[in-house]
Structure 1
Amino acid sequence: MDNSAQASAELILLFGGIMVVVLLAIYMYKNYIRDLQNEIQSEEVSRLNNKLQEISEIFT
């Protein structure tokens, strides 16, 4: 009985460790996406988008 309790406790600790790693990865990914969003909204990208719209108007 004692061995099964130890195995259960180890399994719970293992899942807890995995959850911590997953949550850290999600947090880092969220920061990456936020930085990417700021980059996309930059002035250079806006100018490029305007130029592409001008070209699109010429061909349509």
Structure 2
Amino acid sequence: MNIVEDERGQGAAEYILLFGGVIVIAIAALLIYNSYFKGSGVSSDEDISAVRETVFQ
């Protein structure tokens, strides 16, 4: 019954599950923010121009 007492692979499996969860959350966040920016009409060119105008006045 060494299988019950052998826990060498448990740490690696926990790390795999942890990183998998982080990746799923990151992908979900990217999808949410991507749809947010597509619908809002945000233009990076306009934002950069506005920042440059306020900084270099």
Shorter-chain TM-score tier: 0.5 to 0.7
Counterpart pick for 2:15 among 11, 14, 34: 11
SS of the equivalent of 1:4 reads coil
RMSD: 1.7
Unaligned runs of 5+ in 1: 41-60
Task: Note the C-alpha offset of 1:27.
Answer: 0.1
- What amino acid is the match of 2:22? I
Counterpart pick for 1:25 among 25, 29, 40: 29
TM-score (norm 1): 0.56
List structure 1 segments (4+ residues) > 4 angstroms apart after TM superposition: none
Unaligned runs of 5+ in 2: 1-5, 44-57
TM-score (norm 2): 0.59
Report the structure number with the largest CA radius of gyration: 1
How many pairs align? 38
